[in-house]
Chain A
Amino acid sequence: DTEVTQTPKHLVMGMTNKKSLKCEQHMGHRAMYWYKQKAKKPPELMFVYSYEKLSINESVPSRFSPECPNSSLLNLHLHALQPEDSALYLCASSQEVPLPNEQFFGPGTRLTVL
């Protein structure tokens, strides 16, 4: 299994909703990442988990809350989002941190906040 899976593929939510994005990998990777990507822009790093511990938080607003329940799973809990948070949210994994080589990206969740 050499892929990263993400659910849901699409999500529409209101500003008062609470929702979660899920990411899973079974490659034995010990580092997992959340990126946000706006249209025609590069991915922007949000969070990095290394060995199930949060190692990097790129000053992301607290309405985004990451969680790593185990080495294969990464969640992103969303609450009280703003319309400008609408974007493609990408999960990625790599063997470990520091990055030795490539990151494997999931297909992303396209989020729309109304």
Chain B
Amino acid sequence: NAGVTQTPKFQVLKTGQSMTLQCAQDMNHNSMYWYRQDPGMGLRLIYYSASEGTTDKGEVPNGYNVSRLNKREFSLRLESAAPSQTSVYFCASRMGAGVGEQYFGPGTRLTVT
């Protein structure tokens, strides 16, 4: 039982390049989330998927797109990376119905030069 896994762990991009961050969970959770964490800003929600087949914008969605590929997988795409997207990205999942805690992946540290 791996929980929430994320790839890659580290990535360096040049401005304008694109990439996809991958996330998978093996807990049969319905809801999945993408956050970014920056010093002094805390965790900020980029996009979430309440259930398979649905996605919604969070607090800071500009410059990102997501795909809920199936119940297990939720990917985050940067189409044209900018230095302001330098951050640590976390994927999380939770059961989805009612009150419930989130389980986080180990994170992806992204630097855009």
A binds B: no
Which A residues are within 8 Å of any B CB, using their own CB? Answer: none
